[in-house]
Structure 1
Amino acid sequence: MSHAVEYREVAKADAPKLVPFFEAFYGQWFGEPVTSNSVQRRIDQARGIETFVVAEREGKLLGFASLRLVPSLDLTPYAELSDLFVAGLYRRQGVGRGLLGFIEQRARERGADRLILTTGLKNVEAQWFYRAVGFEDHALAMKKSIGVSKAGNPREIRAPQRSVLWRRVDATGTESFLLSRDDTGWHLEGNVVALLDREPAHIRYRVACDPSWRARSAQISQDRAGVQREVHITVREDGRWWVEGEEDARLRPCTDVDLEISPSTNTIPIRRLNLALGQDSEVIAAWVRFPALTVEPLPQRYTRTGANQYRYASRDFVTNLEVDDLGLVTRYEGGWSREAVADPGSSTLK
């Protein structure tokens, strides 16, 4: 039996299989719940403008890419690689190169003489990949949000709430963190520099919660000893959790994301539960371990012991937390200490 990867243009039957891929890649930016119908509708809307292709092996989708042909005042049009995504389990197996090769072939058939793309300034792994397959740095891409929400109102720009600098007190490590919000909910973004198993590591993450502080997605990137890895987590409206495009049924009872490497995610259950003084509650978090980047359910208990104090317990681990008015940790007993904080409009650190 052949195990070769097939590259082809998308078919209608692919829509249900693409749901976890769209959730992992687009996340909250999709603008609506990711369902088979919404995926098919987006593909239909783009037909004639975008050429959407998939990589498949033995009936299982491994990744997707999208090509856009752009008319130009030049003699020939150019092609744009608008999207490229490979599920984590299938990366570094040639799938991305295969998708790109298929896209290039389609672009040449349509008369394009060059292929361009944009990628995130901080997405170093993607930049290395594209350079390795022949792309060159060409220009600086810029953008300006002029979008309108589904309600017809100008889209709310993400508003910073507070930035924090934490320092590890039990080991070597620091974190620069930003809490912000917009019309979709709350956003936690951090950059952690630490030693993991005695090797220097840089972790970048983004966690999104809805307005009631229920976790919706998480994107984590880790650069350790020259090896870059990522994990993408999405939570559907029905409470099902997907990790790297695959549903993880173990996580269905979870309500929160907890990053082992950061004190920031303690804020999620603290804000969501809004416990009264003396009250406690048990939660189950999707616990992301480092440096393995595995995800597992972790029972936890929070007890509010003071106006800004909580006891945190999980398995045989117990510690005390002190938080500020936004629920951000100021002191994590035996773990982290807040070194500086700045609020919007403030020009100095506190």
Structure 2
Amino acid sequence: MTISIDPAVPDDVEAIADLMEELDTFYGAPPAQPRDAQVAQIRRLVFGTPPAAQVLLARDNGRLIGMAAYSYLWPAAGVTHSIFLKELYVMEEARRKGVGRLLMNRLHQIATAQNCSRVEWMTDTTNIAARKFYEACGFTLHEGKLFFQVKSADLSATETA
């Protein structure tokens, strides 16, 4: 394998959409919208002004095999900013070959270059493979916070509460 890690560019939108479809399948989610809507959404959210997220892509000899999608958060401790890793995904055939570690290393390089105070992320408690991967990278589980979520369909209900 000859793996490269680079920021996504607008020409990557279709390949990102393909990878996102595989990611949805991995998590057991049905396609949420038609392909053209997915492509338009990726183009707007990743390459619009302002972008909603940044994306690093892992390629093996030019073929997309993984990604890390992240955003900057402010404020973090000490009125600093941090990086929140929303999604780290490597195609099944490329797992256990160092791709995820390369993506995490690049993300940490970016955080250092941008003077971020930390990099944070979550994984499902049932995703044992991901937990083992993070532990193998030397990361420790932080149990000090709880995760809350409101789905967009429920947002209007919260406005009247």
- TM-score in terms of structure 1 length: 0.39
Equivalent of 1:16 in 14, 26, 33: 14
Give the Cα separation in 2 of the matches to 1:126 and 1:46. Answer: 32
Name the residue aligned to 1:174.
none
1:120 and 2:120 matched? no
Question: More strand per residue: 1 or 2?
Answer: 1
Please provide the CA RMSD for this pair: 2.5
What count of residue pairs does the alignment treat as equivalent? 150
Kindly state the Cα deviation for residue 153 of structure 1 after the two structures are TM-superposed: 6.9
Instruction: Classify 1:46/1:89 alpha carbon distance in 2 versus 1 (closer, same or farther; 3 Å).
Output: farther
Could you tell me which of 36, 40, 44 is aligned with 1:41? Answer: 44
3-state SS of the aligned residue for 2:96? Answer: coil
User: Which structure has the higher relative contact order (CA within 8 Å, separation 6+)?
Assistant: 2
Q: Which amino acid aligns with 1:70?
A: L
Structure 2 vs 1, CA of residues 12 and 56 (structure 1 numbering), >3 Å: closer, same or farther? same
| 1:80-123 alpha-carbon deviations (Å, 9 max, x no partner) | 11110000111111001011111111111111122111100100
Shift of 1:58: 2.0
Correspondences of 1:130-279 after superposition (within 5 Å)? 130-139=134-143, 140-148=145-153
Contact 1:69-1:107 within 8 A present in 2 as well: no
What is the rounded CA distance, in whole Å, between the counterparts of 1:60 and 1:85 in structure 2? Answer: 15
**1:120 & 1:39 partners in 2: Cα distance?**
24
Structure 2 gap segments, 5+ residues each: none
Q: Report the equivalent of 1:190.
A: none
Local SS of the residue matching 1:148: helix
Alignment match of 1:109 (pick from 98, 109, 113):
113
Contact 2:13 2:43 in 1 (8 A): yes
Deviation string 1:14-61 (CA, Å, 9 cap, x unpaired) is: 111122211121354774224433332332358544221101122210
**1:58 match:** 61
Counterpart-to-counterpart distance in 2, 1:132 and 1:64? 19
**TM-score, structure 2 normalization:** 0.80
Q: Whose Rg is larger?
A: 1
| Structure-1 residue corresponding to 2:98 | 94
2:44 is paired with a residue of what secondary structure?
A: helix
Give the share of equivalent positions with the same residue, in percent: 21
* SS of 2:69 mapped into structure 1: strand
Change (3 A) 1:137 1:111: same
Letter matched to residue 143 of structure 1: F
Amino acid at match of 1:50: A
Question: Aligned with 1:121: secondary structure?
Answer: coil
Conserved 8 A contact 1:49-1:69 = no
The gaps in structure 1 that reach 5 residues or longer are: 155-350
Give the Cα separation in 1 of the matches to 2:141 and 2:125: 12
Q: Would you say the 8 A contact 2:82–2:117 is kept in 1?
A: yes
Residue 83 (str. 1) matches residue 87 (str. 2): yes
1:281-318 CA-partner distances (Å, limit 9, x unpaired): xxxxxxxxxxxxxxxxxxxxxxxxxxxxxxxxxxxxxx
